[in-house]
Amino acid sequence: MDCPGCGIQRSVFLLFEGEFLAAFKMYPAIYPILGLFGFLLLDQFFKIKYVNKIIIGLMILSVVSILINFLLKII
């Protein structure tokens, strides 16, 4: 049985190869996760207004994407 994180490593490798659509098909939650990490990195260098609300929203989006992807795999 697949786990909720199955496919993320292959998806990252596909991103490095420039296969953006294939990366999304492999693991749809890759883009919300990358957005979250990118924003967390950006927050280290710049002070952004409402940073906590944005981070919480991106975290929720990432978790929901992971759960939906997992549920679709087991159906």
Can you give the residue ranges of every domain in the chain? Answer: 8-74
- Structure pTM? 0.83
Output the CA–CA distances (angstroms, integers) from residue 27 to 30, 52, 59, 73, in the order listed: 6, 26, 16, 10
31-36: average pLDDT: 94
Q: What is the pLDDT of residue 4?
A: 84
13-29: average pLDDT: 94
Q: Is the pLDDT score of 2 beyond 80?
A: no
13-17: average pLDDT: 96
Q: What is the pLDDT of residue 12?
A: 94
Q: Is the pLDDT score of 47 beyond 90?
A: no
